Amino acid sequence: MRALLLESKDGPAACRVRDVPSPTGAHPWADGESLLVDVRAAAVGFPDLLQTRGAYQHGAEAPYVVGGEFAGVVRETAAGSRFEVGDRVAGLSVWGALAEVVTAIPRYTVRLPDELSWTQGAAFYVNYLTALFTLERARFTDGDSVLVHGAAGGVGTAVLDLLRGRARPSIAVVSTPEKSDVARSCGADEVVVATEDWLAEVRAMVPHGVDVVVDPVGGDRFTDSLRALDVGGRLMAVGFASGDIPQVQVNRLLLRDLTVTGVAVDPWHRRFPDDGHRMNAELEQLAATGRVRPHVGDVLTFDRAAEALELLEARRALGKVVVEL
């Protein structure tokens, strides 16, 4: 089969489309339960980019097939699986998705309704699972004010979509004016470009501060994000797309009763598997009822698959970057 192979951990430039053996058996994360999927579209995110340089906590040894998100058709299942051959599905594979066939992880796979295209499906599961989990961990309730960093990226657009009509207000922070339209189309009530004065703009909108900050970016904005919170506010650390891991001055938390919470789906779902099943069912329901609108930015052909990672590295991605197979 054809696949995008990372030949050495030297970044996207080390990726090549190659012929490789088709996968067999079960994914290492699948507890022995096999699930093979014919891939129709695959998506990439910052974890995939970090993996290409060995800078992410999960990954495989090079050479390996790149890509952690997919949509496609079930080819083969284990006995007793909740999936059947021919099912339309989307899911997380951690690696291996940019290929004609992927070994899926059943607990991180959901059914995909006909109403979502393959490209939308590839952009759906990981971002919306992360967004749903983040809002649950933040104890979000309708009417809370929420500030979202990286709001034109994959996770940011999914968070805004889930908040659509529910937050009062949802405030998107984006890095360039070009990204403002993306954030608004995904449901943001207000948009702020991350200049030196972004915090002052936010305070003018919400004088007491916001209830929740969702931060998949990290870096220099982190301290100002704490300052943007109301008393008792919650900052959700989703990732570090900026490449810089910020430090927390604990006195800032104590003085205003603030909370910083890490967001990592896999350890939570391993410890509380019923939560994982419930969230998958909720995501399937959201997709089936048309409640979610995954924002797909760039769509590339398979021979240009390495460019998907390059778009992320250059910070040029608007929404999710998807490769069609």
| CATH number reported for the structural domain that contains residue 63 in this entry | 3.90.180.10
Residue with tokens 């329901």: 285
CATH number of the domain that residue 200 is part of: 3.40.50.720
Lowest-confidence pick of 90-94, 272-276, 306-310, 321-325: 306-310
52 plus 75 within the same structural domain: yes
Q: Are residues 8 and 91 both part of a single domain? A: yes
- Give tens-digit pLDDT for 58-81: 878 889 999 999 999 999 999 889
| pLDDT band of 54, cuts 50, 70, 90 | confident
pLDDT band at 269 (very low <50, low <70, confident <90, very high): very high
> Are residues 200 and 212 both part of a single domain?
yes
Return phi, psi of residue 273, to 5°. -60, -30
Are residues 138 and 111 part of one domain?
no
> Strand 101-103 and strand 35-44: pairing?
antiparallel
Q: How many domains does the chain have?
A: 2
pLDDT of residue 240: 81
Higher pLDDT, 181 or 314: 181
The per-residue pLDDT for 11 is 86
Judge if 132 and 103 occupy the same domain. Answer: no
CA–CA distance, 179 with 266 (Å, rounded to integer): 30
How do residues 106-152 score in pLDDT, each as one tens digit?
999 999 999 999 999 999 999 999 999 999 999 999 999 999 999 99
Instruction: Identify the pLDDT of residue 117.
Output: 96
Within a domain: residue 261?
yes
Q: Which residues pair with 301 in a beta bridge?
A: 324
In this structure, of 87-91, 103-107, 196-200, 282-286, the range with the lowest mean pLDDT score is: 196-200
Query: How far apart are alpha carbons 253 and 232 in whole angstroms?
Result: 9
137 shares a domain with 99: no
Residues 116 and 147 in one domain: no
15: containing domain: 2-124+294-324
**Which pLDDT score is estimated for 242?**
66
Q: What is the mean pLDDT of residues 159-175?
A: 96
- Rounded to two decimals, the pTM is 0.94
* pLDDT reported for residue 243: 67
